[in-house]
Amino acid sequence: MTRLILASTSPYRRQLLERFGLPFTALAPQVDETPLPGEPPARTARRLAEAKARAVAATLDEACHVIGSDQVAHLGDERFGKPGSVERAVAQLQRMRGRTVEFSTAVCVLDEQGRAQTELVPTRVRFRADLTDAELVRYVERERPLDCAGSAKAEGLGIALLEVIESSDPTALIGLPLIATARMLRRLGWTLP
Determine how many CB atoms are found less than 10 A away from the CB of residue 102: 18
pTM of the model: 0.90
Paired strand residues for 122:
104
- pLDDT tens-digit profile of 76-107? 888 998 899 999 999 999 999 999 999 999 99
Can you give the pLDDT at residue 1? 63
How would you class 113 by CB atoms within 10 Å of its CB: exposed for 0-12, middle for 13-18, buried for 19 or more?
exposed
Query: Which position among 70, 111, 130, 133 bears the catalytic label?
Result: 70
What are the residue boundaries of the structural domains of the chain, listed by start? 3-187
Cα-only R_g, the chain: 17
**175: alpha, beta or left? (left if phi > 0; alpha if psi -120 to 50):** left
- pLDDT tens-digit profile of 36-86? 999 999 999 999 999 999 999 999 988 899 999 999 999 988 899 889 999
Query: Is 70 an active-site residue?
Result: yes
Going from the C-alpha of 138 to that of each of 21, 28, 184, the distances in angstroms are 35, 31, 40
* CB-CB contact of 6 with 31 (8 Å): no
How would you class 115 by CB atoms within 10 Å of its CB: exposed for 0-12, middle for 13-18, buried for 19 or more?
exposed
Domain with residues 3-187, CATH architecture:
Alpha-Beta Complex (3.90)
- pLDDT tens-digit profile of 148-164? 888 888 888 889 999 99
Residue 45: CA count within 13 A, CB half-sphere: 30
d(C-alpha 109, C-alpha 93), whole Å: 32
